[in-house]
Structure 1
Amino acid sequence: MEHIELFFKSIFIDNMVFATFLGMCSYLAVSKKVSTAVGLGAAVIFVLAITVPLNWLLDQYLLQPGALSWLGAEYADYDLSFLSFIMFIATIATMVQLVEIVVEKFSPSLYNSLGIFLPLIAVNCAILGGSLFMQSREIPTLGLAFNYGVASGIGWFLAILAIAAIREKIRYSSVPPALRGLGITFIITGLMAIGFMSFGGMLTGGDEAPKEEKTASVQEETNENIALNSSEASEDKEIANNIKENE
């Protein structure tokens, strides 16, 4: 259940483009054709699916405070978290170079279409954001880290694919001159972001625990009121008995 919730939440609710607006440079520049958008989106999915789990391993066994305890007790106090950015970016750059070599080898046309934006995946903030969000959310297992990387990539892929399809259609529409180009693209992106954020109502499982806590709190308060009323009633009865004895 946790894997499914994280998967759909990363795609629709915490979408890299529509929720955090990461990776907007490539999103706007390579979304003029659907074919190019598909190629870049697939590359982003691959890079995120590989780099997020790798960076999770680096974070767990190298960078966190005390992560080096597996080397021995004398290393338990080491804290290499200040190297997170350098290590994460090095991992991402390595994977991007691998993607670039593979695309150039098997699809030269796609390689030429993507141009400079393929190597720029290495500095795409959505790619680094995936690893940093993984670290800040303290994802507990390698499987969930892989799940989060794939889902984040799919979310970015859906975003660029949707805007590319829309931009191909509005090319033949009568858009007001002042809004042509990036103007109408930003407006459509905002509307799409509202649509994606509406998926937040799908995941309501997190409300169950607070509801149970609230019910327990109300029950405890009720019991305290009953006990207080009983104590006051006993005191009133005792006072009445004392008055009656005095009379």
Structure 2
Amino acid sequence: MELVSLGIKSIFIENMIFAYFLGMCSFLAVSKKVSTAIGLGAAVIFVLSITVPINWLIQEYVLKEGALTWLGAGFGDINLEFLQFIMFIAIIAGMVQLVEMVVEKVSPALYGSLGIFLPLIAVNCSILGGSLFMVQRDYTIAEASVFGFGSGTGFALAIIALAAIREKLKYSNVPDGLKGLGITMLITGLMGIAFKSFIGIAI
């Protein structure tokens, strides 16, 4: 039940977009069409679901102080946490490269629609944020896996919902001063307030 609660919390209450404003560049740029938003959302779910548990293993068995004791007693005092950012980003970049190759092979149209924002998932702060939050909150491997999937799902839900609204805005009478990014930011703020309504819900 705790894992279910953590999953729902990471999707709705601690949503990467609406609670922490991480990954806003791709969120705003790729949310013009639902089809493109679904593609990016699926890619983010995959990358977060894979990289957060892998980075947990690296943190626990390679980076943190005493993690290398499995190599021998003489390695117990080694602390490699200063390499944390580099290692995490390297894992993320490798997974993003894999996603990019698969998307290009399976759906060239989606690959073209996502453009530069697909490889930029590697430097998307919501992806790195997932791994850093996992370390900060001292999750277990099971919690890290659920958190990674939930965070990716929350990002996908947010970007798909915004894309659906923006498609409808084409037929709306938006004031000239708010057209484009202005109305998008306003809608994002309102969606963030809506997601905050989940705070306090306990399972």
| Alpha-carbon distance in 2 for matches of 1:86, 1:130 | 15
Residue 201 of structure 2 aligns to which amino acid in structure 1?
M
Deviation digits for residues 62-82 of structure 1 (CA, Å, limit 9, x no counterpart)? 111111111111111111000
Q: SS of 1:202's equivalent?
A: coil
Deviation digits for residues 69-118 of structure 1 (CA, Å, limit 9, x no counterpart)? 11111111111000000000000000000000000011101001101110
Residue 89 of structure 1 corresponds to 89
What aligned pairs does 1:13-162 form with structure 2 within 5 A after superposition?
A: 13-140=13-140, 142-162=141-161
Residue 165 of structure 2 corresponds to 166
Residue 171 of structure 1 aligns to which amino acid in structure 2?
K
Residue 188 of structure 1 corresponds to 187
Residue 147 of structure 1 aligns to which amino acid in structure 2?
V
- TM-aligned CA deviation for residue 154 of structure 1: 0.2
- TM-score, length basis structure 2: 0.98
* Bigger helix fraction: 1
Residue 21 of structure 1 aligns to which amino acid in structure 2?
F
Q: SS of 1:201's equivalent?
A: coil
Q: SS of 1:18's equivalent?
A: coil
| Alpha-carbon distance in 2 for matches of 1:188, 1:114 | 22
- TM-aligned CA deviation for residue 9 of structure 1: 0.3
Q: Report % sequence identity.
A: 67
Q: Report which structure shows greater RCO (CA 8 Å, sep ≥6).
A: 2
| Alpha-carbon distance in 2 for matches of 1:46, 1:162 | 19
Q: SS of 2:167's equivalent?
A: helix
Q: SS of 2:95's equivalent?
A: helix
- TM-aligned CA deviation for residue 30 of structure 1: 0.4
- TM-aligned CA deviation for residue 171 of structure 1: 1.3
| Alpha-carbon distance in 2 for matches of 1:129, 1:70 | 28
| Alpha-carbon distance in 2 for matches of 1:111, 1:83 | 32
The runs of at least 4 aligned residues of structure 1 exceeding 2 Å deviation read none
How much is the aligned-residue C-alpha RMSD, in angstroms?
A: 0.8
- TM-aligned CA deviation for residue 51 of structure 1: 0.3
Gaps of 5+ in 2: none
Size of the aligned set, in residue pairs, is 203
- TM-score, length basis structure 1: 0.81
- TM-aligned CA deviation for residue 2 of structure 1: 1.1
Gaps of 5+ in 1: 206-247
